Amino acid sequence: MSEVATILEQEPVITMNLEEAMQNRRSVHYFETNGPAITNSQWKKLFELTALSPSSFNFQPWDFIIVDDQKAKEEMHPLCWGQQQILDCSAVVAVLGDKNPHRRDAEILQQFKDNGYIDETTREAYMGAVDVVYPDEGRKIEHAAGGSSLAAMSFMLAAHGMNLATLPIIGFDHDAIVKYLDVPDDYIVTMLIAVGHSANKDLPRQQRRDFTDIVHWGKMNGKQ
């Protein structure tokens, strides 16, 4: 991008209200081919908002890899069950879940103390508690997948608010994508998200389970 373009690029502003965003966000299966690239200021806004997602102990167990090079997307395409959206979207974002966000525990728990959330005794207790809460590989994966999925949802809503289309994708060969993207052992690829511009060809949204089916009162078999 030229210097002039960078200076002229406006900071994206989201004006869509939350209900409208949630009502109208879709998993978009038909992207405009050769649609405009996502600009640097759009990426910045998207990830600044995504970073506000909640996480256990505020460990922020997420990282993202942006793949916006067409040749790279063509190389990923067969690893993603040949899904056309990988080719047509403007960029693919790999959402990584961090199985070992505790490498930052000293820094993060110090922030808890400095910001007045906990005292020194509690900080020390929490340092040890982290290993108790996430004791084994299974729990570490759950934490990585859960935390990064919340971030992924924030990302998709923010993108929708910026009139960008997204498709979350789980249909890919995990190990092959890990290898292709040079993802270290500490991480899982929770999902890919195709990002771009809708060609407005998607079918209407499918049915959702209704309130009385998904909501239970007091206990799982409880009724109101």
Ligand X SMILES: Cc1cc2nc3c(=O)[nH]c(=O)nc-3n(C[C@H](O)[C@H](O)[C@H](O)COP(=O)(O)O)c2cc1C
Where do contacts with ligand X occur on this chain (CB under 6 A)? 26-27, 29, 83, 167-171, 191, 205-206
Q: Phi and psi (nearest 5°) for 194?
A: -80, 135
- Nearer to ligand X among residue 57 and residue 61 (C-beta): 61
| Contact present, 118 and 82 (Cβ < 8 Å) | no
d(CA 43, CA 12): 10
- Nearer to ligand X among residue 103 and residue 174 (C-beta): 174
- Nearer to ligand X among residue 78 and residue 171 (C-beta): 171
| Contact present, 97 and 188 (Cβ < 8 Å) | yes
Measured from the CB of residue 64, what is the shortest distance to ligand X in angstroms? 15
- Nearer to ligand X among residue 109 and residue 144 (C-beta): 144
Q: Phi and psi (nearest 5°) for 128?
A: -80, -30
Measured from the CB of residue 81, what is the shortest distance to ligand X in angstroms? 7
Measured from the CB of residue 31, what is the shortest distance to ligand X in angstroms? 12
Treating both helix axes as pointing N-terminal to C-terminal, what angle do 40-50 and 137-161 enclose, rounded to 10 degrees? 130
Residue with the CB atom nearest ligand X in the bound state: 171
Measured from the CB of residue 172, what is the shortest distance to ligand X in angstroms? 7
Measured from the CB of residue 21, what is the shortest distance to ligand X in angstroms? 13
| Contact present, 144 and 98 (Cβ < 8 Å) | yes
Number of C-beta neighbours around residue 188 at 10 A: 20
| Contact present, 91 and 66 (Cβ < 8 Å) | yes
Cα 150 to the chain's mean position, in Å? 7
| Length of the chain as a residue count | 224
d(CA 122, CA 128): 10
Measured from the CB of residue 200, what is the shortest distance to ligand X in angstroms? 13
- Nearer to ligand X among residue 173 and residue 186 (C-beta): 173
- Nearer to ligand X among residue 95 and residue 109 (C-beta): 95
- Nearer to ligand X among residue 169 and residue 189 (C-beta): 169
Measured from the CB of residue 163, what is the shortest distance to ligand X in angstroms? 16
Beta bridge partners of 95: 64, 191
